[in-house]
Amino acid sequence: MRVDFPYPDVSPLEIPEGNLLGVFHAPEHPPADDVAACVSRALDNPIGSPSLAELARGRKDALLITDDYTRQTPVKEIIPAVVKRLAAGGLNPSSIKILVALGTHRSMTEGEKLAKFGEDICRNFEIVNHDWRDEKSLVEIGVTPGDAKLRINPVAANADLIIGIGQITPHRIAGFSGGAKIILPGICGASATAHTHWIGGTLPGDKVLGFVDNPVRDEMNEAARLARLVFIVNAICNTNGQTIEIVAGNVVTAHRRGAEIAREVLGVKIPRQADIVIVDSFPKDIEMWQAAKALYAADVAVRPGGALILVSPCYEGVSKSHPLILERGYKTEKETLAEVESGRLTNLMVASHCLRVGRLIKDKAAGILVSSGIPKADAEHLGFIHADNPSQALEKAFSIVGPNASVAVLQHGSELLPVVG
């Protein structure tokens, strides 16, 4: 069977029918016919919350915290609708700012802002990039249940009304993205972000990915309360980035409803774990830090002792924000835990990422990488087996696992929620 990849420079792959367990992708869900109408419907029927107009009454200003270039949230439709309702509550639109919740991602360029927000929003509103490295400017607002000091962006600390705008997809650390995640790690400093990443990294992936109740989400929800996030607008999109539904309202209850929808939209049943799993990371393609989301989905689908093939361009390499990943490479779980416990590895954000990926490609299965953005030497230093194309990668996988190995293909794996059995 021929399998195509969502990248023009990646050649198709022929998989012998006798080996193919299946090609798995999210169920077909038609996108919303009118995204603006979908947004309005959600805002006019908030879940567990007063309306935006009610929340705006008596407020001197408002801050819209949005996700960044790595997400497909339809902010061009959401922001004008939010502003309209805030104005109906008496808030002057000139008092509204936009803060981009970058977490530890690099800053958005002016071109990326224009592409995401559109010319009108860029012209009419101040758009500020969060800088997680600028610890001196961050404002401490409290402590999480796990005893992490919470420092947030000063723009948010001084805002009168805070609204979060994001996207809900399965997430290896938080169970699902969206909701309170716009605060932690979205606009926080390094210590709290590292703390939650480490908690999530030490938990088994099959107990976190796709589950809204978990210790990391508890940390995030408390962070949102401390930061005074009172309202969210979250999109649920299909794997092509098309909007399926919008939820709005209370940080916790609206997010829970959105997670239920996301599970329906992005969940896919797989009959059993495969010997070989092939996964692309579309649309999380910019770097390995993002593309690893596809690995976490594949972790659920590959059997211990199998092989895993990741196909992702990683245009910006491994990680511009976290160069230590490439310097260090991926090691076994035992090695990473030992480095953290001994104090030789103190960056818990990097440690968590390396723990999750290393546990998969060093302990559980052989990791094979097809990526135009990560040279062979870098791929091998990381701990992957390099392949020039998917066909070569599959040949190497068969040589490791055996010629009769079963093969599963996960399409658009970075936003997929595999359910085995």
The CATH number that applies at residue 385 is 3.90.226.30
Q: What is the DSSP letter of 349?
A: H
Residue 278 sits in the same domain as residue 261:
no
Burial of 59 (0-12, 13-18, 19+ CB in 10 A): middle
Backbone angles phi, psi at 77, to 5 degrees: -90, -35
Residue 239 sits in the same domain as residue 304:
no
Q: How many domains does the chain have?
A: 2
Q: Is the pLDDT of residue 298 over 90?
A: yes
Residue 127 sits in the same domain as residue 10:
no
CA distance 95 to 106: 27
Task: Look at residue 264 in the predicted model and tell me its pLDDT.
Answer: 95
Residue 409 sits in the same domain as residue 336:
yes
Residue 146 sits in the same domain as residue 62:
yes
Residue 342 sits in the same domain as residue 409:
yes
* Active centre residues (catalytic): 105, 171
Mean pLDDT, rounded, for 353-378: 97
Q: How confident is the model at residue 111 (pLDDT cuts 50, 70, 90)?
A: very high
Q: Is the pLDDT of residue 133 over 90?
A: no
Residue 396 sits in the same domain as residue 372:
yes
Q: How confident is the model at residue 352 (pLDDT cuts 50, 70, 90)?
A: very high
Backbone angles phi, psi at 309, to 5 degrees: -110, 120
In DSSP terms, 90 is beta-bridged to none
CA distance 370 to 375: 10
pTM for this one? 0.92
Q: Is the pLDDT of residue 206 over 90?
A: no
The CATH number that applies at residue 249 is 3.40.50.11440
Average pLDDT value for the chain: 96
Mean pLDDT, rounded, for 251-277: 97
Percentage of the chain lying above the pLDDT 70 cut: 100
Q: How confident is the model at residue 411 (pLDDT cuts 50, 70, 90)?
A: very high
Residue 12 sits in the same domain as residue 118:
no
Mean pLDDT, rounded, for 76-102: 98
Task: Look at residue 404 in the predicted model and tell me its pLDDT.
Answer: 98
Q: Which of 251, 266, 281 is the last residue of a domain?
A: 266
Burial of 351 (0-12, 13-18, 19+ CB in 10 A): buried
Q: Which of 212, 247, 266 is the last residue of a domain?
A: 266
Starting at the edge strand found earlier in the chain, the sheet holding 62-66 runs: 127-129, 96-100, 62-66, 162-167, 229-237, 243-249
Residue 245 sits in the same domain as residue 380:
no
Q: Which of 266, 289, 313 is the last residue of a domain?
A: 266
Residue 255 sits in the same domain as residue 190:
yes
Element (H, E) at 222: helix 215-227
Instruction: Answer yes or no: are the C-beta atoms of 351 and 339 closer than 8 Å.
Output: yes
Q: How confident is the model at residue 207 (pLDDT cuts 50, 70, 90)?
A: confident
Residue 191 sits in the same domain as residue 233:
yes
Residue 322 sits in the same domain as residue 211:
no
Q: Cα angle vertex 332, ends 328, 336, to 5°?
A: 60
CA distance 199 to 364: 20
Domain coverage including residue 314:
2-26+271-420
Question: Per the structure block, which two tokens stand in for 330?
Answer: 């991926």
Q: Is the pLDDT of residue 421 over 90?
A: no
